Structure 1
Amino acid sequence: MDNTPMVLIFLGVFVVTEGAQQPSAFELSVWPPAPVVEYGGSMELNCTSTCRDPDARGGLETSLTKKPIGNGTGWIAFRLVNITEWRSSPLCFFQCPEIKTARASITVYRTPERVILEALPTMQVGKDYNLTCQVLNVAPIQNLTVTLLRGQELLHEEMLLSASITKAENVTVTHKITARRRDNGMEVTCRAGLDLRPHGQLFENTSLGVRLKTFAFPDDPKLQVPDIIETGTDTTMQCQVVGVFPSEEAQFNLSCGGESLEATVRAQGDTVTAEARVSSLTAGELNLICTVTLGLKTKSATRTVGFYTLPPPTLNTPATREGENVTLACDSPGVEPTNVSLRIRDAARTLTSGRERPLRFTLAASEEDNGREFVCEVEVSVMGMSAGKETSGKLSVLYAPKMDNASCPSDQTWEEGTEQSLSCTARGNPTPSVECVKDDVALKIGVPQPVTRALTGSYRCTAKNTQGSADWDVSIHVRYSDPDILLITLLTLGIGAVASAAGVAYYMYYRAHKIRKYELQQASLKKAQELKRLNGGGMANHV
């Protein structure tokens, strides 16, 4: 049992009774004054005084296990072992002859055993999430600083200076963050720092990194598909989401009537589109569903589509003769009569409509009806909407040939020496053959041929087909002109006269030119002879 307190009481009494007679002064200190020791560790404590009395007594009052390790004049040293008390202040005392005391304040620490940063779920952009860090079994927490980092960016730093807990505890620090697109893929860490300076050192421990994953899925998917689809046909079903991030991670499931469809997915920016081919061989209503999953969100779009069966309608346009009545029949076999309406129309208007099967329309056939196009339309009602098909046909009206001045001009004038072809046709069904004859000689129709005076005359043109024949007269006039003998004679005489006049003029010009040239030559010769004579006579006289 430690009897130090009793010793101090005794020494105190002694100081009181004796100190008044022999007062003295000395200093007492403890080293180190603020020791830092790990939980369960050991340390040395030295009590030192300025007292030089070799008989002075000193000691250490503490509840810790102590062992004296040395002493001398004015000092005494102890070793404290297995320190497990979180708060301890050993008391040094010395009597010289009075008693003085000095305390050491021991800081017992435990480094962070583990630092754990809790994983975060996939975070939706714009929403808040708690970032939680746990520091396990650390003391003293007053010296603890917990730092949360996003990459190298400081998110939060917390110091627990005001904590009053003295033993080792688990510390939890929570910080709220708002998810951002740019946080996707970034790493967050938690760092715990136990700072015991200046008497001790800085101990740090860092958690494993947590990779952030963010997503944006603001809008519901949009499903585009026709409201009604014909059975046996392929139709594109398109599902699109806008504003998603990261768009390449969006997962689609497209189904028709509970059966999954093979989809093609493409992303462009923050828009993702999935397409699939949808079809059904049976009529009825089916649900088309597009389900999109991104992050922790799943959204769906559903459309009810009506599949219907509608074969092409039939249109009966029998051949008829001009003047006879003909009945057109429009029908839609294979469709329930209650859902069907029929219509017969031409290019200009609707001729008749109704629900009776078949729908009929009668008209008196004329030449103008030949080749006339009629359309049979069928329309069914599916889920309050209409779908239709149509078939067209042309009416054939048989009639005898007909000719007039428009198709076969009765007067045609040609120029002799040119190439011309006879223009003459006839209306009729079947298409008539046409022959034009003069004096039992047929003139080819539509074939270019040289024009001579012999083609002049009246031709009987006859058109024939299975319905009858028609005749038409055509007159061909050939324009020509004979040579004018008097004009040719006059032109010949005129040309001769001009040639004679030109000859006489040339002769006169030639004669005058020659005579003039001769006269000049004679004068020049005469002058030369005269000069020669004069020169010859002079030389003779000189000799």
Structure 2
Amino acid sequence: MVTYSNTYNMLQRFYGLVYLSAVLLFVTLTGTQAECPVQLNPQRAVVRYGDSVAVNCSASVPHKGMGWEASEGAVTMTRDSLITWRVSNLIEWDIQPYCYINHEEQCQVELPVTIYKTPDSVSIIIVNHRGPMIEGKQYELQCDVHDVAPVQNLTVKWYKGQTLLNQTTFTEDSKTPVNETTTLLIRPDRADDGAQYRCEAELELGAEGPQPPPKETSDLLNITVYFKPIINETKLPSIVPVFRGYPEVLVCEAEGNPKPTIGWSLGANVIVYNETLTISESTPEYVYCVANNSVGRTIRQVNVSIQDSVMKLHWFSITCCSVESQCPIQLIPRRAVVRYGDDVSADYKTSVPHKGMGWEASEGAVTMTRDSLITWRVSNLIEWDIQPYCYINHEEQCQVELPVTIYKTPDSVSISIVNHRGPMIEGKQYELQCDVHDVAPVQDLTVKWYKGQTLLNQTTFTEDNKTPVNETTTLLIRPDRADDGAQYRCEAELELGAEGPQPSPKETSGRLNVELYYKPKHSNSRETIIKNDEVMLNCTVKANPAPKYTWHSEHLKEEFSSSVLQSSTVLLSPGNYTCTATNSLGSDSKVFIIKSEQTDRTTFWAIVLSGVAVALVLIATYVIFKIRCSNNSVI
């Protein structure tokens, strides 16, 4: 009985394996018929213009002949199983070789060929400008790439030093060499003086292309930035004590480009041109250091405080002037941020005995009082340059200035396209402009660019101006078909710090709706259809303006202008049908290949042979089983 059970289990497993093998054979033989039984090596060719190229086409099945069709390097039909398409000097940009095989019926596989050419030159310039740049102003850099292909694989990268600033890709579909121009907007500050810009054209040709990707780089563009002077406030404090009979020397140092001239204004049109100034008890209470160059002027006010005691002078210098934070007073808030025309107030208190304290200001001054808490208050603040400070007489007088930021949101924010009206064209470059009118302070302004909800870019400003100004920023775009109907906007935001309003005040432009024109482009150039009861050739493609359609085939006896052909309305015989979609920007064609529905002999014999194999296995199993049972019975 044990022998019978073991034999039965063994045969059951053997039968299962044979059945599974038959099924796999069936799936393999039937599933591969949908593909053309040739292999290309490599599957895609990437070759430099004028270089040689070779690609093998091999078949692993019996056939009646195979060959290469191409305008160069064609291989006539042969019974070999490996043939090579070879061109020694490839200069035909639009070559489309394909390998064909006659196996039951003819099929073919096209070889994608990318011919590339590195640019003849890559150059960088400043648009409409020569000489030094001015800090805070906007400039346009231009990169010209000459005679490069294919443009859809081109990336232009912008660098400042070793830092990548921006990069541009291209959506045009062109196989032949073109010239391309890209631009970069910059707003240099003093840190950019001496910076080096360059642009780089790189062809990213995929895994089959050369590694690393070929690139050409422009020469370096060295920039000089002119900026107005900045006075070194560490070396020139705002309050300088002077002991009677002991003159002091003030030093005014300023950094600027061009190098600034230094002068001292002593009032009544008295100006002393020197970096140093000797002061004494006869010096006016206020003197002014003036640093001036061709870009602008910076003024630093110095309060000359006359002292009577060397000891007191020494204490005053330490507590009052060297470290103003040690003046025994507290400001609440430490910084005032107020909207133009609104109310403002700040408290000033002390916890030490004193002989009097007060507020000095052009508006809202508080006369000296013995109170320990006094408030500076203005009900309608409209003085842009107000500089209130509180003072206290505690052993000696010291003072602390209250920083005041007066802000004004813009009267308007508008967006426009520079020098263009109507629909945009895919792949071309356009300049959007954002105008911000009457905003302050500009150094706290950020202009942000959006497409839909996506932040594209933002610009800040280095000018130091307390009064309202108008500002213009631009954004370069190169839209593709996905941008048709996109909405652009710009937003002016005043980032005023923790003491300012939260969230930050902002004004937004209206929406700029982009209408984009683009030519037709099919997702694939060929489609094979097996003819059955109902055949539909759908050539519909998205384009703007809407395309017109034309059909060409030796089987069509009349012209058709619809995007779809159906066998229910048109006689569609086996063969090739070419549909061309055309609009004002270009055209694109697609070939439909209708094949006859035939009984697949391979599939048929695969089924028959699988069935026979299974039947033989079952018969053999039965015979062995009977023999074993007979032997067991005899025993």
Q: Same fold (TM over 0.5)?
A: no
Task: Give the structure with the higher percent strand.
Answer: 1
Q: Please give the range of the TM-score, normalised by the shorter of the 2 chains.
A: 0.3 to 0.5
- Between Structure 1 and Structure 2, whose CA radius of gyration is higher? 1
Give TM-score, length-normalised by structure 1: 0.37
Kindly indicate whether structure 1 or structure 2 has the higher relative contact order, using CA contacts under 8 Å at least 6 residues apart.
2
Give TM-score, length-normalised by structure 2: 0.32
